[in-house]
Structure 1
Amino acid sequence: MELSLSFQDLFKQSVLHLEAFRNVSYIDVIIGVTTSFFIGMFIYYIYQYTFRGVVYSYNYNVTFVLMTMITTIVIMTISTNIVLSLGMVGALSIVRFRTAVKDPLDIVYMFWAISSGIAVGAKLYPVALIGALAVGLALVWLSRRKIKDQPFLLIIRYNESAQEEVAKRLRKTPHRLKSKTVRKGYIEMTVELRLRDDNTAFVNELAELEGVADAVLVNYSGDYAQ
């Protein structure tokens, strides 16, 4: 019974007096928001440097900076008072993120921004700074590996007279057949292959073969072409 009363007294005091706000340090708030801004800008430049999609979105990249700062402010706010913590949880529960994310790696950047904001808001500055640096270096290293060995789709349209010569040229490059369409007058074939250092001279050779109408090389990433 005494424990129950003590909890009620604590809850009432938290509601009526909000004494935690009297002990707010403006210096801590400025340091926290500033730190989250610089970490958010670090995420911004890492995303810009490692982006390998079709259309770069400036607005989407800026979201990471603002997300880091807003998360820091939220964590600082809910850590001051139990009532605000419950109210913030209730308010955030009605938020729905409806934007379709095509690249799974974009979700990693979003989670990185949120986790950095949480660490800064909790005043765990070493965790936020060292963690941001480690994740950034890992993303840069992994993006360089992707550049060295990229998947491509090669789409060739040719007539039956060039079939043997096309097959002969493709044997020189490791590939995997994705689709083959045979229509009256020509054949269209799509193969998946991996190239290093953007060596695409063989596409010109294929296009110059007699009987080949065209040859198209498309950067391929998972479920969609870029």
Structure 2
Amino acid sequence: MARKQGGPPGGGRQLSVTVRSARKRDPSSTRWLQRQLNDPYVAAAKAQGYRSRAAFKLVELDDRFGLLKKGARVLDLGAAPGGWTQVAVARTGEGGRVVGVDILPAEPVAGATMMQGDLTDPAVADAAIAALGGKADVVLSDMAPNTVGHAATDHLRIMALAEVAADVALSTLAPGGAFVCKVLQGGTEREMLVMLKKHFAQVRHAKPPASRKDSAETYVVAQGFRPAPG
């Protein structure tokens, strides 16, 4: 049975909020504010104490794929502000161990270890593994770069982060472990997918309902990690 940890309100009709442009607010800021005010996931995140609406993406992925087992060790890459870390702590329970890492600072998350550092620095990855106390059962990455509005450039930037996350996963996961990573639809992730299929029993794409329909983001879910021999 799929586990439920709450989600956006459904069933009833949601009232739409219209935001008038203020003198000092540009049109793009007005559109962003209106989208936030009318987003049921934003309201649900606030009501349930999540730090971001993105927490529901992991909730939905876990409900579908059963990623976060009780007592699991979880490494959350690009953890700030901590929404995915909160979900991982809740779902792995008291016996679990969750470490969140981000180049940006993040407020502490109860039940987790939060670290600030650049994952391209081997010392940061080593410190994260040490904090886990052993190999990870799950490596999560919701990392995304600052976008520039140029589709090809943005795609290359997010795929560069995805490749960093994949490298960390391959060196960190225990046998049978899982890796979840944000990518952008567009085809340049093919090489990474080929590599993942060599090391995981199953590799699938998933776009959780909490992912906005107008977003090109999707997630790669790789399960059944098979370490390279030797």
TM-score, structure 1 normalization:
0.25
Q: Which has the larger radius of gyration?
A: 1
Q: Using structure 2 for the length normalisation, give the TM-score.
A: 0.25
Structure with the largest fraction of helix: 1
> Relative contact order: is structure 1 or structure 2 higher (C-alpha 8 Å, sep ≥ 6)?
1
